[in-house]
Structure 1
Amino acid sequence: MPENTTEEAAGGTGTDGSAQVLRPHAEDAFADELKALAAADDRPRPERWRLSPWAVATYLLGGTLPDGTVVTPKYVGPRRIVEVAVTTLATDRALLLLGVPGTAKTWVSEHLAAAVSGDSTLLVQGTAGTPEEAIRYGWNYAQLLAHGPSRDALVPSPVMRAMARGTTARVEELTRIPADVQDTLITVLSEKTLPIPELGQEVQAVRGFNLIATANDRDRGVNELSSALRRRFNTVVLPLPATPEEEVAIVSRRVDQIGRSLELPPAPEGTDEIRRVVTVFRELRDGVTTDGRTKLKSPSGTLSTAEAISVVTSGLALAAHFGDGVLRSGDVAAGILGAVIRDPAADRVVWQEYLETVVRERDGWKDFYRACREAGA
């Protein structure tokens, strides 16, 4: 499952000033691991790939190389999901990562592009206002007015640059993009060409080009993909963590990485609170207590792993700056309230009921109950 959708905050080093960057790109933050994998990788590589499919999967899932180098897991979950995603990129079909918010779609997309092409920055961010030019190309209007249409006046999109270089392009939140703009990808993905009618030219994709898109399960009905466009993708669904232990491990690892970059105290001192946050999120998300005895109402929010990481990180910052550095119930209570209560009326009722019928009666949770009451429950 996801090591999370929250941004990687591990600081980089080097003469390029990356040590001062708040969030280095994956290929910079994990440059040593990618270099070690490339050196140890003796398997066939698709054209213009930096690593073989096996090495790309190892980079995502983690492992130990023959020289002793430890590759940290970027994604925790079923191995087959990663293998299918990597294999898709080695074919002529584009990859669509689908899932509810917080299932590491963006995270996996970035790391796949970094491992395959060594460049995760050829990115189109999908929004309701994304124009066609963001996917095809635009124009430098000063050049256009002075000299007319020319290649010098053309401003290539990330997709066009990836096609010309034979690398991986990324489109985030594809279903947020208006349907008519989405469909500009059809020719790119089916014919592997991008026409430039103003110049009577085209850009043809060279070997190595492919595209990774992400889409949110919750956005169904916003801008559904046309059947023609959907056929151009192989869809891989990223699930939520399968077990509480898996989710606790994900949250602990990511909080530790983020905390080190922010010079916060180590997360292991707050393992009990992390487990409580994860338990609360999973029970409310699933609509039943962990022991299966009590049915619960679920709030309107997603309560994803990413949100759990955010709650714990904020709590750790509170403990560091306004406490004794140890993560306690009072540090995470306000964050949990903010995550759970999105609809002030309906969600507050759900939370109050959960607090009084489950949290209040649970052994060892009295301090957590009091902290949540004091936080304004």
Structure 2
Amino acid sequence: MTQAIDQTTLLRPHAEQEYAEELQALDRQDDRPRPPSWKLSPWATVTYLLGGVLPGGTVISPKYVGPRRLIEVAVATLATDRALLLLGVPGTAKTWVSEHLSAAVSGSSTLLVQGTSGTAEESIRYGWNYARLLAEGPTAGALVPSPVMTAMQEGRIARVEELTRIPADVQDALITILSEKTLPIPELATEVQAAKGFNVIATANDRDRGVNDLSSALRRRFNTVVLPLPATEEEEIDIVTRRVEQLGASLELPPVPAAAEEIRRVVSVFRELRSGATADGRTKLKSPSGTLSTAEAISVITSGLALSAHFGDGVLRASDIAAGILGSVIKDPVADAVVWNEYLEAVVRERKDWADFYRACREAT
């Protein structure tokens, strides 16, 4: 007998587990047309991603902070026969958006293929239970369906992470699936035809261009939505703050009341080094080799919270985040170290209210 999972013991619940109450509230009040097999209408799916207040006062928390039109285009794509490709630099919430879209549309985000250089065709098509294959020969019972095959059979969303990391010949296994909506099984002289509601969400990294570029035939099967970095500093601070609060609660870190100042500082550093100029535009800067994404800013703050809670006085200080920033900025120990030192001396040192941060970074360096 399958035992119920106590979600409070899970380090990282799936989206459909963590936000089950919100999904149920949307389902109850969602009176708009739903495409076949969809758990929510496109309108409710967008509301789930971007947040809002339902009639009756139920608050739907925002899962993604960014242009509404991008999410509307992504959701509308899933309601057509075209697959969705989420493209962007590392840390722009591609995986996060993919997971929540799947949870809202299919009620499950777990039909996942993780793309790597070693991903085999079986991960996209199907494999075999070799013990049964040897004993029985090719039979339906010996066949092991891939997440994509399962999604086709059940009319759900399949996710393919880091598509451009997958070898080109394996990528092309998706062409027939996406164009014909069928998966041939020649060993059994049969095929799997996709049920209504089936679609694919793939993610790809801007930094991986040239690794395993998509063929033109495969690219035509996708509608591409580019997820940008946060447009403003305030928007990025809001994203970091929300996510840090969620992670802190999940990791059972004590609340840190004075985190706002350090979050703003980390976001400011990351944005200036990313853009190659200070916020006021007066000083040109060299950019490091890393992406300095919002996700990395979240990691720096979360690590700082752990240091503050377990080895400090419970107040997040510059010394708690200095080492984390150093690790994020300096990926190349030679070139990035030069970039960081120049930034410390030309920018950080000159800001009078950043004296504690300058000292902490110098000590960490």
The count of aligned residue pairs is 363
| 1:102 is aligned to 2:91 | yes
Counterpart of 1:11 in structure 2 is: none
Q: Aligned partners of 2:36 and 2:106: how far apart in 1?
A: 10
Q: Aligned partners of 1:278 and 1:266: how far apart in 2?
A: 20
Q: Aligned partners of 1:19 and 1:328: how far apart in 2?
A: 29
Q: Aligned partners of 2:122 and 2:288: how far apart in 1?
A: 39
Counterpart of 1:122 in structure 2 is: 111
RMSD of aligned C-alpha atoms?
Answer: 0.9
Of 268-277 and 24-33, deviating more is 268-277
Of 117-126 and 14-23, deviating more is 14-23
Selected match of 1:184 from 146, 168, 173: 173
Counterpart of 1:202 in structure 2 is: 191
Letter of the 2:119 counterpart: T
CA contact (8 A) 1:48 1:207 kept: yes
Which one has a larger percent helix, Structure 1 or Structure 2? Answer: 2
Q: Deviations over 1:111-170 (max 9, x none)?
A: 000000001000000000000000000000111100110100000000000000000000
Q: Aligned partners of 1:231 and 1:82: how far apart in 2?
A: 20
Secondary structure of 2:63's partner? coil
Q: TM-score, normalised by structure 1?
A: 0.95
Selected match of 1:173 from 159, 162, 168: 162
| 1:280 is aligned to 2:269 | yes
CA contact (8 A) 1:113 1:168 kept: yes
Counterpart of 2:16 in structure 1 is: 27
Secondary structure of 1:255's partner? helix
CA contact (8 A) 1:307 1:339 kept: yes
Counterpart of 1:260 in structure 2 is: 249
| 1:61 is aligned to 2:50 | yes
CA contact (8 A) 1:98 1:214 kept: yes
| 1:40 is aligned to 2:29 | yes
CA contact (8 A) 1:259 1:267 kept: no
Q: Aligned partners of 2:354 and 2:230: how far apart in 1?
A: 24
Selected match of 1:324 from 303, 313, 322: 313
Larger RCO, structure (CA 8 Å, separation 6 or more): 1
Counterpart of 1:161 in structure 2 is: 150
Selected match of 2:336 from 347, 354, 362: 347
CA contact (8 A) 1:340 1:347 kept: yes
Counterpart of 2:76 in structure 1 is: 87
Counterpart of 2:120 in structure 1 is: 131
Consecutive unaligned residues of structure 2, counting only runs of 5 or more, are none
Shift of 1:107: 0.2
| 1:243 is aligned to 2:270 | no
Consecutive unaligned residues of structure 1, counting only runs of 5 or more, are 1-13
CA contact (8 A) 1:127 1:177 kept: yes
After the TM superposition, which segments of 4 or more aligned residues of structure 1 sit over 3 Å from their partners? none
Secondary structure of 1:198's partner? helix
Q: Percent identity?
A: 77
Secondary structure of 1:258's partner? helix
Counterpart of 1:71 in structure 2 is: 60
Selected match of 1:300 from 289, 296, 305: 289
CA contact (8 A) 1:168 1:210 kept: yes
Q: Aligned partners of 1:368 and 1:19: how far apart in 2?
A: 36
CA contact (8 A) 2:256 2:314 kept: no
Shift of 1:15: 4.3
Counterpart of 1:8 in structure 2 is: none
Q: Aligned partners of 2:203 and 2:256: how far apart in 1?
A: 30
Counterpart of 2:7 in structure 1 is: 18
Letter of the 1:328 counterpart: R
Q: Aligned partners of 2:241 and 2:254: how far apart in 1?
A: 13
